[in-house]
Amino acid sequence: MTAVKEVRKSKPQALLVDAGDVFSGTLYFNEFKGQADLRFMNLMKYDVMTFGNHEFDLGSSAEGHQALADFIKGAKFPFVSSNVDFSKDDKFKGLFSDLISSKPEQGKIYNGIVKQVDGQKVGFFGLTTEETKDISSPGSIEFENYLEEAEKAVKAFKGMGVNKIVAVSHIGYDDNAAYDNDLTLAAKVKGIDVIVGGHSHTQLDAPIVVDKDDKGKTKEPTVIVQGYQYSDYLGTIDVEFDKKGKIVGQAGQLIKLSEKQDDAEAAKVLETYSSKIKELKETKTGATAVKALETPRDSGDATKPSVRKNETELGNLITDGMLSKAKEFNKDTVIAFQNGGGIRAGIDQGEITLGEILTVLPFGNTLATMKLTGAEIKEALEHSVNLAPKENGGFLHVSGMKFSYDSSKEAGNRVTKVEVLGLDGIYSELDAAKEYVVATNAFTAKGGDGFTVFKKAYEEGRVTDIGLADWENLRDYVSGLKTVDPSIEGRIKDVAGSNTGPTVVLAKDFGGTADAPKTHEGNVVVDITDIASLENAVVKGNLTLTGTPPDDFTFSQVTVEGNLDLSGLDGKTVSLSGVTVNGETIL
Report which of residues 460 and 468 the model is more confident about.
Answer: 460
pLDDT at 81: 98
* Mean pLDDT across 175-179: 82
Non-local CB neighbours of 202 within 8 Å, separated by 6+ positions: 172, 173, 174, 226, 228, 299, 300
Distance (Å, rounded) from C-alpha 564 to C-alpha 535?
15
Contact between 517 and 511 (Cβ < 8 Å): yes
pLDDT at 499: 57
Report which of residues 270 and 516 the model is more confident about.
Answer: 270
Contact between 67 and 33 (Cβ < 8 Å): yes
Q: For the purposes of burial, counting CB atoms within 10 Å of the CB of 152, is it exposed (0-12), middle (13-18) or buried (19 or more)?
A: middle
Distance (Å, rounded) from C-alpha 339 to C-alpha 393?
6
Report which of residues 442 and 149 the model is more confident about.
Answer: 149
The structural domains of the chain, with segments of one domain joined by +, span 2-267, 284-494, 503-586
Angle at 450 between CA 448 and CA 452, to 5 degrees: 95
Binning pLDDT at 50, 70 and 90, where does residue 457 land? very high
Beta strands in 88-136 (DSSP E): 96-101, 109-117, 120-128
pLDDT at 80: 98
Non-local CB neighbours of 12 within 8 Å, separated by 6+ positions: none
State the helix-helix crossing angle for 264-282 and 35-43, rounded to 10 degrees.
Answer: 170
Give the number of residues written for the chain. 587
pLDDT tens digit sequence for 105-162: 999 999 999 999 999 999 999 999 998 998 789 999 999 999 999 999 999 999 999 9
Distance (Å, rounded) from C-alpha 296 to C-alpha 231?
17
Please provide residue 351's backbone torsions phi and psi, each rounded to the nearest 5 degrees.
-60, 130
Please give the DSSP secondary-structure letter assigned to residue 163: -
Contact between 340 and 305 (Cβ < 8 Å): no
Contact between 301 and 389 (Cβ < 8 Å): no
Q: Is the pLDDT score of 454 beyond 90?
A: yes
Q: How does the average pLDDT of the chain come out, rounded?
A: 94
Q: Is the pLDDT score of 25 beyond 70?
A: no
Contact between 101 and 113 (Cβ < 8 Å): yes
* Separation in Å, CA 141 to CA 18, 45, 53, 70, 220: 21, 28, 12, 16, 34
> Which of 134, 158, 147 has its CA nearest to residue 214?
147
Q: Is the pLDDT score of 473 beyond 80?
A: yes
Distance (Å, rounded) from C-alpha 432 to C-alpha 417?
12
Biggest CA-to-CA distance, the chain: 95
What element of type H or E holds 564?
strand 564-568
Binning pLDDT at 50, 70 and 90, where does residue 432 land? very high
How large a percentage of the chain has pLDDT more than 70? 99
- CATH of the structural domain 2-267, one choice from 3.60.21.10, 1.10.510.10, 3.30.2270.10, 3.90.79.10: 3.60.21.10
Contact between 144 and 84 (Cβ < 8 Å): yes
> Which of 489, 465, 474, 522 has its CA nearest to residue 400?
489
Distance (Å, rounded) from C-alpha 556 to C-alpha 461?
48
Non-local CB neighbours of 472 within 8 Å, separated by 6+ positions: none
Same fold, 2-267 and 284-494: no
> Which of 204, 191, 198, 189 has its CA nearest to residue 247?
191
CB crowding 333-365: b at 16 or more within 10 Å, else e = bbbbbbbbbbbbbbbeeeebbbbbbbbbbbbbb
Contact between 37 and 22 (Cβ < 8 Å): yes
pLDDT tens digit sequence for 570-579: 767 788 899 9
Contact between 553 and 528 (Cβ < 8 Å): yes
CATH dotted code for 284-494: 3.90.780.10
Sort residue 20 into left (φ over 0), alpha (ψ -120 to 50) or beta: left
Please provide residue 122's backbone torsions phi and psi, each rounded to the nearest 5 degrees.
-125, 125
Q: Is the pLDDT score of 371 beyond 90?
A: yes
- Threshold 0.85, pTM exceeds: no
Contact between 172 and 129 (Cβ < 8 Å): yes
Contact between 295 and 312 (Cβ < 8 Å): yes
Please provide residue 8's backbone torsions phi and psi, each rounded to the nearest 5 degrees.
-65, -30
